[in-house]
Amino acid sequence: MKITIVAFDIWGFNKFIANRLTQLGHEVTFINSFEIRYVYKNKWQRVSNFFSKIFLKKNIKKVFLEKTLLNKIEQLPFQDQILIINPSYFKNPLLELLKTRTSVL
C-alpha cells in the first residue's frame, strides 16, 4: 500500500510511525514540514519581511513553505492513503491538491 504522511514533526514521533509502516511492508512517503527552512539571503530581505508581515500580512517564510510543499506533493504519484497530521496548519490549496492524489482521506 502506498501511504503518504504530511506532518509538522518536531519530536520525531510521526517519523517513527512512517518507519514502522515501512517495516510492515508499505511504501511510505514522509513529508516533514518542520525540515523545510527558509534562509534569508541578506539583512535587507529580513527587514523587508518584517514590514511585509506587519503591513501586508504576508510572510516570506510561510510562502516558501507552501510552495515547497506544493512542489513535493505535485511530484507524488497516486497514493492509496494520505495522512495529514494537524490539517489546520496547512492552507486550502495544499489540502485540495492532496485530495487529488488519493481516493481516500
- Tens digits of per-residue pLDDT, 4-21? 999 988 888 999 999 999
CA distance 96 to 80: 16
Total domains present in the chain: 1
Q: In which band, very low, low, confident or very high, does the pLDDT at 84 lie, cut at 50, 70 and 90?
A: confident
Q: How many Cα atoms are found within 13 Å in the side-chain-facing hemisphere of 92?
A: 0
Q: Which domain holds residue 68?
A: 2-100
Sign of CA dihedral 70, 75, 79, 81: negative
Q: Evaluate whether residue 41 is within a structural domain.
A: yes
Query: Could you give the 3-state DSSP secondary structure of residue 18?
Result: helix
- Residue percentage of the chain with pLDDT more than 70: 97
* Closest C-alpha among 31, 28, 40, 104 to residue 66: 31
Q: Evaluate whether residue 105 is within a structural domain.
A: no
The whole model's pTM is what? 0.79
Q: Evaluate whether residue 78 is within a structural domain.
A: yes
User: For residue 19, what is its C-alpha cell?
Assistant: 518507519
Q: Mean pLDDT for the chain?
A: 89
